[in-house]
Structure 1
Amino acid sequence: MPKKIIKRFLPDHQTIKNHKALKMFGTVLHDPNLWHLNRKSASGAFGIGLFFAWWPVPFQMWLAAASAIPMRVNLPLSMATVWVTNPFTMPPMFYLAYLIGTTVLGAPERHFKFQLSWQWVVQSMETIGPAFLLGCGICSVVCGLAGYLGLDAIWRYSVSKAWKNRKLRRKKMQ
């Protein structure tokens, strides 16, 4: 069951409620729907997390939390899913976003060398920025929808399978 697998990896809700970065949300975090794990809340949270994972900003978890709260989906799952982008996966993911952006814009692919400086970021936003940001937006929407629909389908399939197995066990008992 997806619920058992997901619960194994999620932190305790008290730990998240007491996290210093989330104190700005106040008592809103006491809504039980933010901690409940069902098909709707898990699928929505997974979609939100994948949506914000493609955003090239340093505060993706806050954005995921700020979206999960009004949508009343599982808060820990939405924040954890954002970590699909991490220091190891970010370069290939963002390069893919750049390639998608250049394809959609019909712009030529520019070769660049990454430098860890603010000057490079400003300069690159003028040259490769439009294609990169468009690619990030496209990947964000596509992956968010695919994550939502995919987890929803997996959840429905597992529940259906569990019902069928239960039905077969009952027949065997009779």
Structure 2
Amino acid sequence: MPKRIIKKYMPDPKKLQEQKSLRFLGKLLEDPGLLHLTRRSVARAFMVGIFFAFIPVPFQMVLAAAGAVLLHCNLPISVGLVWLTNPITMPVIFYGTYLVGAGLMGVEAQPMPDELTLEWLSNLIQDAWAPLYFGSVVTGLVLAVASYFGVHLFWRWHVNKSWKTRHDRPRPPKV
């Protein structure tokens, strides 16, 4: 079951409270719900983590941690999902959100170059920050809501499948 696999990698609550990067949350980290693996907690964590993964700002993990604390959802999952936008995937994802924003705003999008350079990226941000951020927020919201409901559906499907498997299992004869 996925819950057992996830539980194996969950951090110790004491170590979580000792993290320097999370100290700004103070007493809020003492909420035991931040490490629970329930359908609602995990679905909210997906919503928070995926939303902040698509927002091109520094310290996405800190924002995801703050969002997880405010919504009382699973902290490690929401922070871990921010890594969907890592240095390898970031250019492609943010260019895609830029295209979404440009399309929604009616702005002509700049084409993607043959070679990705920091100079091209800095020019794109200077010239197209509004479509980039607008597209990022729209894409982040859409995917966050979709992941929230997707986790709920997957969780229910998995529980129903487990119950059916348990019900269909042959029982030992009564003696």
TM-score by length of 1: 0.87
Preserved contact between residue 10 and residue 35 of structure 2 (Cα < 8 Å): no
Task: Give 1:116 shift.
Answer: 4.1
Matches for 1:1-174 after TM superposition, within 5 Å: 1-111=1-111, 116=118, 121=122, 124-169=124-169, 172-173=171-172
CA contact (8 A) 2:53 2:84 kept: yes
Structure 1 outlier segments of 4+, above 6 Å: none
Cα distance, 1:126 vs. partner?
Answer: 4.9
Q: What is the total number of aligned residue pairs between the two structures?
A: 170
Give the SS at the match of 1:34.
helix
SS in 1 for 2:48: helix
Please give the alpha-carbon distance, in whole angstroms, between the structure 2 residues aligned to 1:112 and 1:156: 41
Once the two structures are overlaid, the 10-residue window that deviates more, 4-13 or 24-33, is: 4-13
| Residue pair 1:43, 1:147 contacting (<8 A) in 2 also | yes
Cα shift readout 1:44-71 (whole Å, capped 9, x = no counterpart):
1011000000011111111111111121
Task: Note the aligned Cα RMSD (angstroms).
Answer: 2.1
| CA distance in structure 2 between the aligned counterparts of 1:111 and 1:164, rounded to whole angstroms | 51
- Following superposition, the deviation at residue 9 of structure 1 comes to 4.1
Tell me the secondary structure at the aligned position of residue 11 of structure 2. Answer: coil
Give distance in 1, aligned partners of 2:146 and 2:139.
10
- Contact kept, 8 Å, 1:2 with 1:158, in 2: the verdict is no
- TM-score, normalised to structure 2's length? 0.87
Q: Which has the higher contact order (CA 8 A, sep 6+)?
A: 1
- Superposed displacement of residue 152, structure 1: 1.3
Q: Distance in 2 between matches of 1:101 and 1:59?
A: 22
Specify the SS of the correspondent of 1:107. Answer: coil
8 Å contact kept, 1:50–1:144: yes
Gaps of 5+ in 1: none
Amino acid at match of 1:148: Y
